[in-house]
Structure 1
Amino acid sequence: MKEARDLLPIYKVEHNCILSRQGDITVGFKASLPEIFTLSDRDYESYHQAWVKAIKLLPQHSVFHKQDWFSASSYKADFASARDSFLSRSSERFFNERECLEHSCYVFLTKKPSGRKLSSSMYSNIRRQSVVPAQTVSPVLYRDFMDSVGQFARVLTDSGFVGLSRLTDDELAGTANVPGVLERYCFLLEEGKPSVIRDIHLKEQIRIGDKRLELYTLSDTENLPSLVGSRINYDRYSTDRTKFSVGFASPLGQLLPCNHIFNQYVFLGDSSATLKRLEAKKLRLQSLSGYSRENAISRDSVNDFLNEAIASGRLPVKAHFNVLAWSDEPGGQVDLRNLVSSAMAQLDAVAKQETDGQAQIWFAGLPGNEADFPMNDTFDTFLEQASCFFNLESNYRSSVSA
């Protein structure tokens, strides 16, 4: 057994930022998303473009991490606010104790120091006995990154779809009685609940206290859908004449009825170096194309990727998406597997259940540790396609004027 303080990659939380032991700077936001079933086809396209424009403003060697929490809950009636209104009290009685999903969304932006060694499943800080800083962070780098973060937030808020609130030191690290996002992720604590320390087991299966976690990933192009977009049709509310839209990744978000965290990662590297690497890969596949048809097909795919990147001015990135699900009931893993697999199938994707690399992927989801994500579990794509997998909606909120 190891103590958490020996492995925790977080060095300090100050100035509303998380500083890792490797010199990575992470800024966190709490995001307010539009209510589900309220956007039109044009809204989804504008919403999608806002994410693309905002992420393009981030500097090279940055990590965009969007983390959506969905926890099973039940509606708690507020009879005091209903007062003497017959309709209000009847409405509260009708919805009282009905099951629902509580949703909270966080956006973390990480700037890695230049020259930082990329992590993999074999080289991850959860497998090291100690974590030593690679370099210190300069004030110039900090100011430049903060400028990019400010522009990112401005573009999203100006779109009118997203509200962003910067997380403070207490909201990141927590206080004596109120857990922050770091503590919530480590111990799977619900928002607003008191702090509880739980044992974390990583061998064979991730267990946090009495909760057994299942990790399902989209990390290979072979398992991805052939077509993606900003929206899909929601068949339950659609007819032959009219199509009802939801976000493309909504089946993995608000429409997935279980306790889960939907993690969305986009890694921005040196685009010119990426294109050079792919050019070398294309030439290597060209020389091997005479030995098998698979090499020839792979060569054509890489060539098409390079042509689109240059002709359309696309930004090549690496991406990864995963669903971390858990159940409070013993033996609920089978139901989780069926639910997540069915949700992935609605996107025309195939869910991969992680076993060997689940600890590394889970640990990289800790706010402030995104830069240590195992890059062998990512895939090459364009920013426009990667942002289609973002969860775009939240649950309904009570009206202030009600």
Structure 2
Amino acid sequence: MMAEEDDFEDDDDADDMAAQWAAMLDDEDEDDSESQQKGADRVLSQDEIDNLLGFNAEQGHDGETSGVRAIINSALVSYERLPMLEIIFDRLVRLTTTSLRNFTSDNVEVSLDGITSVRFGDYLNSIPLPAILSVFKAEEWDNFGLITVDSSLIYSVIDVLLGGRRSSSSMRVEGRPYTTIEMNLVRRMVEVLINDAEAAFAPLSKVTFNVDRLETNPRFATICRPANAAILVEMRVDMEDRGGKVELLIPYATIEPIRELLLQMFMGEKFGRDSIWEGHLATEIYSAKIGVDAVIYEEMMPLSKVMDFKEGQTLMFETAPTDPIYLKCGETIITEGQLGQRDRNVAVRVMKDLRKPKTTLASFEHAEQPNPMES
């Protein structure tokens, strides 16, 4: 009976322990479910959303992007990789200021609002209408560009050229197509702009821009695929109390022929080649002293035969006194000559021109070349 009572007590202890473990597991499951519920109900703050998408107000436009924004912009070429573009467009602004002053006979100030890299399709969709889009062709580069003139600048230029009254608010007529006179006046202004663009690119590369057509519908001004990258230059034209914006868009495919020139940090930069250093190096090389060997006879023989040479042995050369000998510099044969005697000294008369190396630098031809016969 005592043994049976002990068995019953052991079973009760085991049941109590199992119940305690089950209660502990239930508490842990409840804690996990509550934490998961709290995580699901948690709402991200605006800062966390901006960091996730890669938008940071502190970095601005020039800072490095991250997150989803970096993935989207990874395939977009940045104009900052072409340093010469800023110099060219700054020159364009200065030239345009002078040209538009002469064109309108008014006090005109042109300022550069910004240079950005955009997708061509996104730019067409963002053009505020009405506007006039001028398609021009770069003849030497065999591709096209686009100039967009907004309505405010169009009506301001028309008022100035036709003697209209000065008004603080630009006149904008909605729903009316531009007349022939307005289109011709805008064409004249666009011709002034592209002539200045030619002058801006002239120090870097000669190019001719010709107006191809004027369009009022962006769909008819397509010059490349919508996904292609392009450079957008925004310029602000102020004529005292009126003015507007003009935008110059050049696809990267258009400036591809001069891409190497645009990679320069400054005008006239040399990449891996300095003519001054080449000329100096060529002059020093030509004035350097080298040793030249006159080889009368040369033969390959086994080492065992050479080891059998004895003192006083005579070696016979299979050559005649009239046979040519070779002049060698190291292992390179530079010319041929004939053995002779001059002033009781053994001499060699050069019979052929020097053998030039296969690869030569152009600067070596302009350097001072001493006469090889004198040395």
Higher helix share: 2
- Which structure is richer in relative contact order (CA contacts within 8 A, separation 6 or more)? 1
Q: Which has the larger radius of gyration?
A: 2
Q: TM-score, normalised by structure 1?
A: 0.24
What is the TM-score of this pair, normalised by structure 2?
0.25
